[in-house]
Chain A
């Protein structure tokens, strides 16, 4: 009967074993790390909600949050050409004839 040859140098025959104390310590660290990550997500969520609550997200106010918008200041409109009134600048509403039947 021939014996099983030794593994080549560097080969693990078994996974490295950790003693129970090391496993317990790792478990505890992982729990804390998980809680820290959860806390971070919650904080980012809270910050986002508070920021959005004070932001003006209406048309023309811009997609991105602007602190001045939240204080009731309207986003500036481009100036009209000389001689043009606001009525003239407003696009005409579609007439009934143009609307599809």
Chain B
């Protein structure tokens, strides 16, 4: 006797499915880093911004991030269906039709850019439009399936929010804004590869050329260490320009030391190898989670300094 094939349970899209399309967890980090750029710009340059305009600018960043997420899910629905981690997303699970996700992404992109222009200036709106294009087209449609450097170059998309926040206040993008961009840019590879060390089998199954799939776990662990070696001192450069004070310096220094410690331990381990132990897998996962905490606290330190009036410059720099 043979079992009858399981009939998929019919699902009807709810509002939460559409929220899932916007990748809300990524959106939170994007909005937070944009807020840090916005607050730091106001603190450093003394340029005032109307609180409501600032809130609308941040909402525009959130909508832009959601739009890029929806476009990404539309294009990647084929590989999302193959990977276990992503198979429950709204499109592969059958809750939301692909065309709806694309339509939603495109409309939200337009709304986000327009709101940003209304609330701030053309430069911030143009940067937001470019970052949506960068994530939705350059990363998702081109880099992701064609090169193991996909998340290195594609990381640029996630690095734009603080620059957008800065531009929304001042109408320009000075060196300080690009330092924040660089911090996120160099943070992305060790952050993402820590996760892909655990899920490289899934990426291989879906035919996505992530670094652990194409070059192996050992080469990935080395690359993670190298990017962390660049990131940790880079995160201290705001002390040189006056963007960060004592609170920022201590936070970035201590957390950077811990991040570097994780990178060394993961490099020395066999995490991602076929014969790695559960403890080594756990170590890679811990590094992934810590990397999120690192970015959150480093940018939170900037917000605390410039929003709460706790900026104490580091003398001697």
Taking Cβ atoms with an 8 Å cutoff, the residues of A that contact B are: 21-22, 24-26, 28-29, 32, 40, 43-44, 46-48, 50-51
Bound complex: CA of A43 vs CA of B13, how far in Å? 27
| Residues of A close to B53: CB separation below 8 A | 47, 50
* Secondary structure call for the A interface: helix
Q: How far apart are A64's CB and chain B's nearest CB, in angstroms? A: 13
B12 near A46: Cβ-Cβ < 8 Å: no
* 26 contacting pairs across A/B (C-beta < 8 A): A21-B12, A22-B12, A24-B12, A25-B12, A25-B13, A25-B14, A28-B15, A29-B13, A29-B15, A29-B18, A32-B15, A32-B18, A40-B115, A43-B59, A43-B115, A44-B115, A44-B118, A46-B56, A47-B53, A47-B56, A47-B118, A47-B119, A48-B118, A50-B50, A50-B52, A51-B118
Bound complex: CA of A54 vs CA of B118, how far in Å? 14
* Secondary structure call for the B interface: helix
Cβ of B111 within 8 Å of any chain A Cβ, yes or no, is: yes
| Residues of A close to B18: CB separation below 8 A | 29, 32
| Residues of A close to B118: CB separation below 8 A | 44, 47-48, 51
Closest to A35 in B: B15
Taking Cβ atoms with an 8 Å cutoff, the residues of B that contact A are: 12-15, 18, 50, 52-53, 56, 59, 111, 115, 118-119
* Chain A-chain B contacts (Cβ-Cβ < 8 Å), number: 34
Bound complex: CA of A8 vs CA of B53, how far in Å? 60
| Residues of B close to A29: CB separation below 8 A | 13-15, 18
| Residues of A close to B119: CB separation below 8 A | 47
Q: How far apart are B134's CB and chain A's nearest CB, in angstroms? A: 25
| Residues of A close to B115: CB separation below 8 A | 40, 43-44, 47
In the complex, which of the residues A21, A32, A43 has the most CB atoms of chain B within 10 Å of its own CB atom?
A43
Closest to B19 in A: A32
Q: How far apart are B59's CB and chain A's nearest CB, in angstroms? A: 7
| Residues of B close to A21: CB separation below 8 A | 12
Bound complex: CA of A26 vs CA of B95, how far in Å? 12
A40 near B13: Cβ-Cβ < 8 Å: no
Bound complex: CA of A21 vs CA of B119, how far in Å? 40
